[in-house]
Structure 1
């Protein structure tokens, strides 16, 4: 049994963060302006900028965070970013990370909702396709780098291969969760001889009391909001309830939330199906998390509140549940990952994450972007620029975007 002193020490909040909220905001604003390609690509951008370049966290700790966020409902890449901001700059750092990563795409989509003509025609289609090609290179770079460090032996390479097979034959969030779960179990049997790495401490400054409170708040809102919304005649509350439930029930990232949102806003008559599909197309062409599609929907709502207020309500509602679950899990996650058996399990889970990323590199990233030899050549060029010449990802994104527009205009 732990002593009371040990329990108090475990929940002690460190008084001085390792960085500042301003530093976190600056780093994530850069990512929010340049991270194209969806949640899998975002994890690649995060790894390159925050693990490799800035060294805010080591490779194993980053993979642990990715594995945790794959288990939880919500936008995985935004949850990873939120946790990294919390790790680097405390609660204000977490808020700064979410704000900086989310607002660029949210603002662009609200502008699109008001203009309703963005990304039409061949130039828009060319830009969108060029950004998808960049995403292939970004994800390939992430798989390459993570595989070298997280699957260095036959056992873990085998776990990664099995994870690929699982997610190929069991597509969707269920396959991802099954792959990570089986990877963790395989790690207990096959990865117990690795060194015990107890020196890395991910200090998230979240006590167990706060974590338990966040979990309670998540379930209270999930159950209570529909009851209150049915009893109170408030369109704003109905909006918050609909988008909170959509964010609570999604495993596997932003694309999975689309059918839920369509059922909520199109079936109810709040948004036309044409407007919904137009917004979805625009969401593919902006950086940042796909969950910011909620801001577009809030802006084009038929009944008030809509516009900027509707966008703010829907944007907050869809992100809140995932962050509550993350804050609830983090205090217990740090202690769990330091146990020798837990570390063996995490070695297997991390190898499975590599397999999942490898499968995602093919579908949907490769299959949606590489439609001919020219696309393959461009993606290979981008990959070499990133891996061999160490070009900044934002520069590769900008160059490919401008090149795609130029080709479309010819």
Structure 2
């Protein structure tokens, strides 16, 4: 296990550790851009262009509530870069959605698509609303009006939204229908993450968790750790965490801890992950099935081989990074490690596999869905999973090459791969006019 030192970590609460050094998504994305650029001989003018989004659309979204009143929400769509292809990224419904958050997350999507060598650029959007306070009918009206407001700036060859926090396949179905009604033809390729019955892809919802499991397997092989001798703790048992846990369990790893918002199930002998419902199957059920419950904070510092934070951002911080006992961290969530924690873990030789690689299964299968929609030909689940594994292995090899040749961290290696591809495309296309 990785060496540890004394820490002031408070394990008395199941809430995520507050990060005094946390930064905004935009600040993080720009810092990572500068960091990768420092390792590369690229035109500084390209870096300057990539600091900013191509466009940011801000709209008002009025809807009639069920009680007859009208309420107005604010929506955003930030389109960062399209040098390699159409913009691609999620739409989220959350009360804290802001312009800068969408810009920063859109930049992350640019890096993620480039890491996976997908012909997309990054985008992100959403509405500042608490979806839990909306009825299903209100959420549908919100989505259809938002689709109308964005109609001129999205499309299958321009910008393709997908589900994100607070949205789901049904949300994408409403958005696709609203767009199609205005266009006068069914246009399934305008969004991904739809139900398969209307052009969605098999395996899309499971894809981020599957990619986390694939990358965990590959990194364990790299460090000569047989999966059947590997212990794993996973924070979060939603779509990402549960799918990763069940696959790794099937492949021979010992899953010793899983968690939801109420706490973590811990069994050093191993958990039968198939017997514990995921959040989608039964919300907040993990602790109901547990004989031994620990806090989410304690899970992060368990003496295991692999730690997979797959729930919230900013959970590994300067307050708890010294106490992380795992040798390998595979980021299932977006941004679970703060910059200070990242530096501490690197100093302690804890390998951190970044989110832009590990959970890229979602955007990769979204790409497959887009291809299926364009060609009007559905793929089997077996083909989707086989193609995903091929793409994840190719991305892993590219990052591994940079990691070994440049003697950098895995995160730096991933951003170097991404920025190299984006810069090459910008150099080839030039600046118009």
Q: TM-score normalised to the size of structure 1?
A: 0.28
The structure in which a higher percent of residues are strand is: 2
The structure in which a higher percent of residues are helix is: 1
Q: TM-score normalised to the size of structure 2?
A: 0.27
